[in-house]
Chains A and B, each alone.
Chain A
Amino acid sequence: MSGIGTGYDLSASTYSPDGRIFQVEYAHKAVDNSGTAIGIRAKDGVVLAVEKLVQSKLLVPGSNKRLMTADRHIGVATAGLLPDARHLVNRAREEAQNYRDFYRAPIPGKMIADRLGGYVQAYTLYSSMRPFGVSTILGTVDRSGPALYMIEPSGVYYGYHGCAVGKGKQVAKTEIEKLKLTHLTCREAVKEAARIIYVVHDDVKDKEFELEISWVCEESKGRHEFVPKDLVAEAERLAKASLEDEMDED
């Protein structure tokens, strides 16, 4: 398939005539083809949720988690190439620990986002290494409160109230925009996040999926933890119910 960037897309160290780096753009495509991940910043914390597509019935449910912890107060959700994600989270863990050793304090959300952004950007400079094929959503709670950041394969990052990456990101973003995030508590956000993941999942194109959902909030004492099973079960029940309601409306 002769693509758009023919000739200028072989290495990350080449600009196209209109100022684009195609390798980085292709990295974004890897992210867009993966299962959806969303982050919601509520009043009292952050909720992360992932649509984990299950490739085979032989996989043990609950294994191969896509939500990872970089420090007690930092949760990471990724979309894209999972091995790249693991590498990046390892780096995040080192950075967070490094900060603790030096300052004897947990690293603030904006600092870890900045460090990871810089790290990801470094891989867009050289022809000898490929850019990261992941978009990373960081959910943290620090002294100044909850924070949500997303780092893209180019290394750019922004702070968000709500964000989504992966296959269903358009639908997810539309749903998130409908929410009144400044009024939501984390418990409510968990239910909304579960509902959005269910809405986003395309039963036709993909088969099974597992919902992974975690939070950093007052209830979890400022720690990144998987949401308790009973709350997840309740959220899933409500999500399925609301989907059926929507279908009935036809």
Chain B
Amino acid sequence: MEVMESARLKPGEVNLGTTIMAVKFKEGVIVGADSRTTTGSYIANRVTDKLTPVHDRIFCCRSGSAADTQAVADIVHYYLQLYTVQEGERPPVETAANLFRELVYQNKDALSAGIIVAGWDKYKGPSVYSINLGGSLNEQPFSIGGSGSTYIYGFCDANYHDGMTKEEAIKFTKQAVALAMSRDGSSGGVIRLAVITEEGVERHFVPGNELPRFWEG
């Protein structure tokens, strides 16, 4: 069976090297990301915002090609606005995730986008969906993505549990992203977080000099 080739950038394209993650807790979801965008080894943007709102209570975390993920997120944002106007209510997270999936799957040859969709809706409450390069959709209690995620699978598996409180989930996400940033050359900068609940969205920011620190040798 053929395996998808990982990110092949077109000339001039910029990579979201990245560590992204989304975590479901009792009342909502946390989305978190680093802030490094690279073209080769040059850091094109060291304060990137990879957490993009596509609706009031739905965010996506973008990894892969910056251009591709921005374009896809814009299109989904358009369709979700249309949905809201026509149906008169907020779209469910599952609908947003499926729109991403449809775009990624149908254009898999042209895109390189690894996206995590997370948010809150009144039907299912909080939910997290991840869409990989080929365009397959998976719902998960938490999801990690991007090049930096490979270094924190162990940490996440060991430390995640269902029904976390908001504070526990924030700490979990912060620590995981920090660990990935300290090992992955394509991830770094600052940590951006967003907490999404029924009430609204709270954005958090952890500057580079306040990152959680671990054993540094």
Contacts and interface: CB of A to CB of B under 8 A. Distances in A.
A143 B123 contact: yes
Interface in B95-141: 95, 98-99, 102, 123
A102 B96 CA distance: 11
B94 interface: yes
Contact of B95 (A104, A110, A114): A104
Q: Is the interface of A mostly helix, strand, loop or mixed?
A: helix
A181 B11 CA distance: 66
Q: Which range contains the number of B residues in contact with the other chain?
A: 10 to 19
Interface residues of A, number: 9
B87 interface: yes
B86 A103 contact: no
A111 interface: yes
Interface of B: 83, 86-88, 92, 94-95, 98-99, 102, 123
A139 interface: no
Interface in A102-132: 102-105, 108, 110-111, 114
A105 B87 contact: no
Contact of B87 (A102, A104, A111): A111
Contacts of B94: 104-105
A104 B83 CA distance: 13
A62 B95 CA distance: 40
Given A111-B86, A111-B87, A104 B98 contact: yes
A110 B89 CA distance: 12
A103 B86 CA distance: 13
Given A104-B95, A104-B98, A111-B87, 11 more contacts: A102-B99, A103-B83, A103-B95, A103-B98, A105-B92, A105-B94, A108-B87, A110-B87, A110-B88, A114-B86, A143-B123
